[in-house]
Amino acid sequence: MATVWHEAELIGQKEEAKGTNRFWFRILEDTPLVYEAGQFLTFDLPTGDKRAQRWRSYSIANNYDGSNIIELCIAYKKNGLASEYFFNTINKGDKVKFKGPEGTFLIPSDIQVPIMMIATGTGIAPFRAMLQKIEKDGMRPSNIHLIFGTRTLKSFLYQEDLEYYNHFIENFKLSVCFSREKKIPKSKISSITYHSGYVHDVYLQDKKINPSKTLFMICGYGSMIDDAVSNLINQLKVPKNLIRIEMFG
C-alpha cells in the first residue's frame, strides 16, 4: 500500500528545559487524525536529499483529543540535521510532511497488570501522552510506577504534569533520578521520591514489585535501554514478554 503523507503546520513552541523544546503542530486535515497514546510520527524534513538525512520519528507527547493538534518534545542534538531544523530553521506557520501514526508502545489493554515505566530525557514523551489519557479517561490502574531519569532539576521535563498526575491517577508513583544534581529535593508526598543517580538503581532496589508479574515499559536512547533490559533479564529474572521498549536511537 502506498504511504499516506499528511501535512502539519507549526503553531507554537516553548522551551521546556535548556536544549529541549515543546512544539505544537496543527494537522492540516478536515477530519481528526486518530492515534493511540504512545505512538509516533515520522517526518520528512527539508534537511537533505537522502531519506537518512530527511526522515526522523518523534513520539506524540499528548493524548488524542480530536483537535488535530499534536505536541512533540524534542531534544537538540549538536549538528543533528533535524535538531538544526527544529531549533534554528522552522518558523511558526511553516508546514512539514509526516506519515503515521505508527507504533505498538501503548497502554496495555489490561491496566490491572502492575506497570513500571522507565524513561530518560525526551523518552518521557510517550508516557506523558499515556498518563494524560489514563487521567482523562478516569482509568483505574492497579499500580503504575514511573521512574524518570534526568540530569538536573532544571532539566526535569513535564515536572508540573507529572506531579499533577501523582494526585489524580490512582496508584501512581513517581521516582525522579537526578544524575548531575547537587541538591536533591526532598519530597513532601510519599508517592513522589527524588534520588541521586540513575534510573537503574530504583527498579533494582524496588522490593515491592514482583518482577515476574510486572510489565516493564522503557523509552529513551539505546544505552539506557540496553542496560535496563540486561538488568531486568539477568538480575530480576523478568520474562522477556514482560519487557516493552521504544528506542529513540
Give me the residues that bind ligand FAD (CB under 6 A), please.
40, 56-59, 73-75, 77-83, 122, 125, 246, 248-249
What kind and span of H or E run contains 53? helix 51-54
Minimum gap (Å) between residue 58 Cβ and ligand FAD: 4
Nearer to ligand FAD, 68 or 83 (CB): 83
Residue (82 or 147) nearer to ligand FAD, CB: 82
**Smallest separation (angstroms) from ligand FAD to the CB of 53:** 7
Closer CB to ligand FAD, 181 or 246, in the complex: 246
Q: How far is the CB of 43 from ligand FAD (least distance, A)?
A: 8
Q: DSSP labels for 108-125?
A: -S-TTS-EEEEEEGGGGH
Distance CA 28, CA 25 (A): 9
What is the DSSP-derived secondary structure letter of residue 206? -
Q: Toward ligand FAD, which CB reaches closer, 41 or 238?
A: 41
Strands (E) located in the chain: 5-17, 20-27, 40-44, 55-59, 69-75, 95-102, 115-120, 144-150, 172-178, 192-196, 215-220, 243-247
CB 171 within 8 A of CB 116: no
Query: Which letter does DSSP use for residue 245 in this model?
Result: E
Q: Which three cell numbers stand for residue 163?
A: 506531579
Nearer to ligand FAD, 88 or 91 (CB): 88
CB of 210 to ligand FAD, least distance (A): 29
- Minimum CB distance to ligand FAD, residue 106 (Å): 13
Name the residue number minimizing CB distance to ligand FAD. Answer: 80
